[in-house]
Amino acid sequence: MSAQAEKLDVSVWRGDSDGAYQTFQVPAYESQTILDVVSWIQQYADPTLTYRFACRVGMCGSCAMMVNGRPRWTCRTHIKTVVKDGAVQIGPLRNLPVIKDLAADMDPFFDKWVAAGGVHAPSGSRYDPIEPVDPAGPERTEASAGIECINCSVCYAACDTVAGNADYLGPAALQRAWTLYNDAKHDARESILDAVSGTGGCHNCHSMGSCTVYCPNELDPMSAIAGLKRETAKNFFRKRG
Protein backbone atom coordinates (compact mmCIF):
# COMPACT_ATOMS: atom_id res chain seq x y z
CA MET A 1 0.00 0.00 0.00
CA SER A 2 3.02 2.25 0.22
CA ALA A 3 2.74 3.01 -3.48
CA GLN A 4 -0.64 4.68 -2.85
CA ALA A 5 0.96 7.24 -0.57
CA GLU A 6 2.83 8.62 -3.56
CA LYS A 7 1.15 11.36 -5.56
CA LEU A 8 1.65 12.37 -9.17
CA ASP A 9 1.36 15.96 -10.38
CA VAL A 10 -0.79 15.56 -13.48
CA SER A 11 -1.39 18.61 -15.70
CA VAL A 12 -4.34 18.15 -18.04
CA TRP A 13 -5.60 20.51 -20.71
CA ARG A 14 -8.91 22.21 -19.83
CA GLY A 15 -11.21 24.06 -22.21
CA ASP A 16 -11.01 24.41 -25.99
CA SER A 17 -8.05 25.68 -28.01
CA ASP A 18 -7.89 28.80 -25.79
CA GLY A 19 -7.76 26.74 -22.62
CA ALA A 20 -4.92 26.11 -20.17
CA TYR A 21 -3.35 23.29 -18.18
CA GLN A 22 -4.78 22.44 -14.75
CA THR A 23 -2.79 20.35 -12.28
CA PHE A 24 -4.29 17.53 -10.22
CA GLN A 25 -2.72 15.40 -7.50
CA VAL A 26 -3.36 11.78 -8.44
CA PRO A 27 -2.43 8.77 -6.26
CA ALA A 28 0.18 6.51 -7.86
CA TYR A 29 -0.59 2.79 -8.15
CA GLU A 30 1.23 -0.21 -9.51
CA SER A 31 0.43 -1.07 -13.14
CA GLN A 32 -1.28 2.26 -13.79
CA THR A 33 -1.80 3.46 -17.37
CA ILE A 34 -2.07 7.07 -18.48
CA LEU A 35 -5.75 6.42 -19.19
CA ASP A 36 -6.17 5.16 -15.60
CA VAL A 37 -4.76 8.47 -14.34
CA VAL A 38 -7.12 10.51 -16.54
CA SER A 39 -10.05 8.33 -15.44
CA TRP A 40 -9.11 8.84 -11.75
CA ILE A 41 -9.27 12.61 -12.21
CA GLN A 42 -12.66 12.37 -13.89
CA GLN A 43 -14.06 9.97 -11.27
CA TYR A 44 -12.61 11.43 -8.06
CA ALA A 45 -11.45 15.02 -8.65
CA ASP A 46 -13.46 16.70 -11.41
CA PRO A 47 -16.38 14.93 -13.13
CA THR A 48 -16.52 17.64 -15.80
CA LEU A 49 -13.22 16.47 -17.34
CA THR A 50 -13.89 15.39 -20.93
CA TYR A 51 -11.86 12.65 -22.61
CA ARG A 52 -12.45 9.77 -24.97
CA PHE A 53 -11.85 6.04 -24.66
CA ALA A 54 -13.62 2.77 -25.42
CA CYS A 55 -11.81 -0.56 -25.45
CA ARG A 56 -8.88 0.05 -23.04
CA VAL A 57 -6.87 -2.68 -24.80
CA GLY A 58 -5.31 -0.85 -27.74
CA MET A 59 -7.81 -1.88 -30.40
CA CYS A 60 -10.27 0.98 -30.87
CA GLY A 61 -7.90 3.93 -31.31
CA SER A 62 -10.02 6.34 -29.24
CA CYS A 63 -7.75 7.32 -26.37
CA ALA A 64 -4.69 8.86 -28.05
CA MET A 65 -3.46 12.06 -26.37
CA MET A 66 -0.32 14.20 -26.22
CA VAL A 67 1.73 13.07 -23.23
CA ASN A 68 4.71 15.25 -22.32
CA GLY A 69 4.60 16.61 -25.86
CA ARG A 70 4.49 13.36 -27.79
CA PRO A 71 1.43 11.50 -29.08
CA ARG A 72 0.70 8.18 -27.38
CA TRP A 73 -2.03 5.58 -26.99
CA THR A 74 -2.86 6.20 -23.34
CA CYS A 75 -4.51 2.85 -22.54
CA ARG A 76 -1.38 0.87 -23.40
CA THR A 77 1.25 3.19 -21.91
CA HIS A 78 2.22 2.81 -18.28
CA ILE A 79 2.38 6.11 -16.44
CA LYS A 80 5.76 5.04 -15.01
CA THR A 81 7.33 5.24 -18.45
CA VAL A 82 6.36 8.89 -18.96
CA VAL A 83 6.50 10.49 -15.47
CA LYS A 84 9.38 12.91 -15.02
CA ASP A 85 10.16 14.05 -11.46
CA GLY A 86 6.70 12.94 -10.34
CA ALA A 87 4.92 15.04 -12.97
CA VAL A 88 3.28 14.47 -16.35
CA GLN A 89 1.49 16.74 -18.84
CA ILE A 90 -1.47 15.39 -20.82
CA GLY A 91 -3.10 17.33 -23.65
CA PRO A 92 -5.45 16.77 -26.60
CA LEU A 93 -4.03 15.44 -29.87
CA ARG A 94 -2.02 17.94 -31.90
CA ASN A 95 -3.06 19.05 -35.42
CA LEU A 96 -6.79 18.60 -34.66
CA PRO A 97 -9.35 21.10 -33.33
CA VAL A 98 -10.01 20.76 -29.58
CA ILE A 99 -13.64 20.09 -28.67
CA LYS A 100 -13.10 20.25 -24.92
CA ASP A 101 -10.33 19.23 -22.52
CA LEU A 102 -8.71 16.04 -23.87
CA ALA A 103 -11.24 15.33 -26.62
CA ALA A 104 -10.00 16.36 -30.07
CA ASP A 105 -12.35 16.72 -33.03
CA MET A 106 -11.50 13.72 -35.26
CA ASP A 107 -13.62 14.92 -38.23
CA PRO A 108 -10.70 16.35 -40.29
CA PHE A 109 -8.78 13.11 -39.75
CA PHE A 110 -11.58 10.87 -41.03
CA ASP A 111 -12.65 13.32 -43.77
CA LYS A 112 -9.12 13.04 -45.18
CA TRP A 113 -9.23 9.25 -44.81
CA VAL A 114 -12.28 9.28 -47.13
CA ALA A 115 -10.75 11.93 -49.44
CA ALA A 116 -7.69 9.70 -49.98
CA GLY A 117 -9.98 7.00 -51.38
CA GLY A 118 -10.04 4.99 -48.16
CA VAL A 119 -13.57 3.59 -48.49
CA HIS A 120 -13.51 0.00 -49.73
CA ALA A 121 -15.26 -0.66 -53.03
CA PRO A 122 -15.87 -4.42 -53.42
CA SER A 123 -14.83 -5.91 -56.76
CA GLY A 124 -17.45 -8.65 -56.46
CA SER A 125 -20.63 -9.53 -54.63
CA ARG A 126 -21.55 -12.39 -52.32
CA TYR A 127 -22.97 -14.24 -55.35
CA ASP A 128 -19.61 -14.31 -57.16
CA PRO A 129 -17.18 -17.18 -56.54
CA ILE A 130 -14.43 -16.33 -54.05
CA GLU A 131 -11.22 -15.46 -55.85
CA PRO A 132 -8.17 -16.82 -54.07
CA VAL A 133 -5.56 -14.32 -52.82
CA ASP A 134 -2.01 -15.51 -52.19
CA PRO A 135 -1.17 -14.18 -48.72
CA ALA A 136 2.54 -14.30 -49.55
CA GLY A 137 2.23 -12.49 -52.91
CA PRO A 138 4.06 -9.15 -53.25
CA GLU A 139 0.87 -7.03 -53.55
CA ARG A 140 -0.85 -8.70 -50.61
CA THR A 141 2.32 -8.36 -48.52
CA GLU A 142 2.24 -4.57 -49.12
CA ALA A 143 -1.47 -4.45 -48.30
CA SER A 144 -1.12 -6.58 -45.17
CA ALA A 145 1.64 -4.31 -43.80
CA GLY A 146 -0.88 -1.54 -43.09
CA ILE A 147 -4.08 -3.34 -42.11
CA GLU A 148 -3.46 -3.23 -38.36
CA CYS A 149 -4.02 0.56 -38.34
CA ILE A 150 -6.49 1.46 -35.57
CA ASN A 151 -6.97 5.08 -36.74
CA CYS A 152 -5.84 6.50 -33.42
CA SER A 153 -4.40 9.59 -35.19
CA VAL A 154 -1.08 9.37 -33.34
CA CYS A 155 0.78 9.61 -36.68
CA TYR A 156 -1.40 12.56 -37.74
CA ALA A 157 -0.58 14.37 -34.48
CA ALA A 158 3.14 13.60 -34.86
CA CYS A 159 3.40 14.87 -38.44
CA ASP A 160 5.02 18.28 -38.93
CA THR A 161 3.85 18.36 -42.55
CA VAL A 162 0.23 18.20 -41.35
CA ALA A 163 1.05 21.01 -38.89
CA GLY A 164 2.39 23.16 -41.74
CA ASN A 165 -0.20 22.32 -44.41
CA ALA A 166 -3.84 21.97 -43.38
CA ASP A 167 -4.69 20.33 -46.73
CA TYR A 168 -2.19 17.49 -46.39
CA LEU A 169 -4.02 14.17 -46.14
CA GLY A 170 -1.65 12.83 -43.49
CA PRO A 171 0.07 9.49 -42.84
CA ALA A 172 -2.95 7.37 -41.78
CA ALA A 173 -5.14 8.30 -44.76
CA LEU A 174 -2.27 7.77 -47.20
CA GLN A 175 -1.32 4.44 -45.66
CA ARG A 176 -4.95 3.35 -45.98
CA ALA A 177 -4.86 4.43 -49.65
CA TRP A 178 -1.68 2.38 -50.19
CA THR A 179 -3.31 -0.64 -48.53
CA LEU A 180 -6.36 -0.46 -50.81
CA TYR A 181 -4.19 0.23 -53.87
CA ASN A 182 -2.52 -3.12 -53.25
CA ASP A 183 -5.77 -4.93 -52.42
CA ALA A 184 -6.76 -7.23 -55.29
CA LYS A 185 -10.40 -7.10 -54.12
CA HIS A 186 -10.67 -3.29 -54.20
CA ASP A 187 -12.52 -2.08 -57.27
CA ALA A 188 -11.36 1.55 -57.37
CA ARG A 189 -7.59 1.16 -57.39
CA GLU A 190 -6.81 3.58 -60.22
CA SER A 191 -8.88 6.39 -58.71
CA ILE A 192 -6.73 6.14 -55.57
CA LEU A 193 -3.71 7.46 -57.49
CA ASP A 194 -5.75 10.52 -58.55
CA ALA A 195 -7.01 11.01 -55.00
CA VAL A 196 -3.53 10.99 -53.47
CA SER A 197 -1.66 13.04 -56.07
CA GLY A 198 -3.53 16.34 -55.68
CA THR A 199 -2.43 19.44 -53.75
CA GLY A 200 -2.73 17.77 -50.35
CA GLY A 201 -1.44 14.43 -51.57
CA CYS A 202 1.47 12.11 -50.93
CA HIS A 203 4.08 14.32 -52.61
CA ASN A 204 3.84 16.78 -49.70
CA CYS A 205 5.54 14.22 -47.44
CA HIS A 206 9.10 15.18 -46.45
CA SER A 207 9.93 11.68 -45.14
CA MET A 208 10.61 12.97 -41.63
CA GLY A 209 9.39 9.62 -40.37
CA SER A 210 7.66 10.81 -37.18
CA CYS A 211 4.60 8.74 -38.20
CA THR A 212 6.66 5.56 -38.28
CA VAL A 213 8.53 6.42 -35.06
CA TYR A 214 5.37 7.11 -33.02
CA CYS A 215 2.91 4.55 -34.49
CA PRO A 216 1.84 2.49 -31.46
CA ASN A 217 1.22 -0.57 -33.66
CA GLU A 218 4.70 -0.27 -35.17
CA LEU A 219 3.36 0.26 -38.69
CA ASP A 220 5.36 2.14 -41.32
CA PRO A 221 3.25 4.88 -42.98
CA MET A 222 6.40 6.60 -44.29
CA SER A 223 7.21 3.62 -46.52
CA ALA A 224 3.55 3.34 -47.58
CA ILE A 225 3.64 7.00 -48.67
CA ALA A 226 6.92 6.34 -50.52
CA GLY A 227 5.07 3.55 -52.36
CA LEU A 228 2.30 5.96 -53.36
CA LYS A 229 4.89 8.50 -54.57
CA ARG A 230 6.47 5.79 -56.71
CA GLU A 231 3.20 4.57 -58.22
CA THR A 232 1.80 8.08 -58.88
CA ALA A 233 5.05 9.06 -60.62
CA LYS A 234 5.06 5.87 -62.70
CA ASN A 235 1.42 6.49 -63.60
CA PHE A 236 2.27 10.06 -64.66
CA PHE A 237 4.99 8.87 -67.06
CA ARG A 238 2.78 6.03 -68.34
CA LYS A 239 0.06 8.54 -69.23
CA ARG A 240 2.54 10.76 -71.08
CA GLY A 241 4.24 7.86 -72.86
Partner 1 sequence: MRPSRAHPLWLAFVLHRVSGVALALFLPVHFWVLSYALTQPEKLDRFLSFADQPLVKIAEFGLVFLLAVHLAGGLRLMAMEWLPWSGPQKSLAAGAVGAALLLSGAFFLQVISV
Q: How far apart are CA 6 and CA 160, in angstroms?
A: 37
Q: Which of 94, 132, 169, 184 binds partner 1 (CB under 8 A)?
A: 94
CA distance 240 to 220: 31
Binding mask 182-221 for partner 1 (x = CB under 8 A): ------------------------xxxxx-xxx-----x-
Residue 229 binding partner 1, by CB under 8 A: yes
Which residue in the set 38, 66, 103, 196 belongs to the binding site for partner 1 (CB under 8 A)?
Answer: 66
* Min dist. Cβ of residue 155 to partner 1 (A): 11
Shortest Cβ 205–partner 1 spacing (Å): 9
Contacting residue, 61, 91, 146, 216, with partner 1 by CB under 8 A: 91
x/- mask, partner 1, residues 122-161, rule CB under 8 A, reads: -----------------------------------xx-x-
Answer yes or no whether residue 98 interacts with partner 1 by CB under 8 A: no
Binding site for partner 1 (CB under 8 A): 66, 68-71, 91, 94, 157-158, 160, 206-210, 212-214, 220, 222-223, 226, 229-230, 233
